[in-house]
Amino acid sequence: MNRAVCYAYVRSQGDRPSLMDQVMACRAYAEARGYSIVGEFNDIDTSDHPNQHTGMQALQVTLAEDPESVVLIYQPDQEVQDVFTTNGANLEAVPPLTARTAGH
């Protein structure tokens, strides 16, 4: 079974789903594709919780130790995609749960 890590994030601007909804979408995506999730990371960037990028940094440490793991991110924006792909991560964008279940 291939290994994967999940990265979820929320920002004060934008309309991203909750961290839990993003993680659940990643888990369903991983299960459907035969991935074993070996880590889940998150970052929150809101007015009362400024982003320190600790989740992203921890994920990058994990990838340095296990570069074969796939990074699953719920509908990543360009900034997040760039951070991971610049560092050579194998990134897969996870679609919303409703988009996957509608055809089944």
pTM, whole model, 2 decimals?
Answer: 0.85
- Please calculate the CA angle 58-32-93 and round it to the nearest 5 degrees: 50
Tens digits of per-residue pLDDT, 23-53? Answer: 999 999 999 999 999 999 999 877 666 667 8
Confidence of residue 75 (pLDDT cuts 50, 70, 90): very high
pLDDT of residue 100 exceeding 70: no
Q: Where are the domains of the chain?
A: 2-97
For 11, 12, 36, 50, the CA distances from 47, given in Å and listed in that order, are 9, 7, 34, 6
- Asked if CATH classification 3.40.50.10440 holds for the domain at 2-97, the reply, yes or no, is no
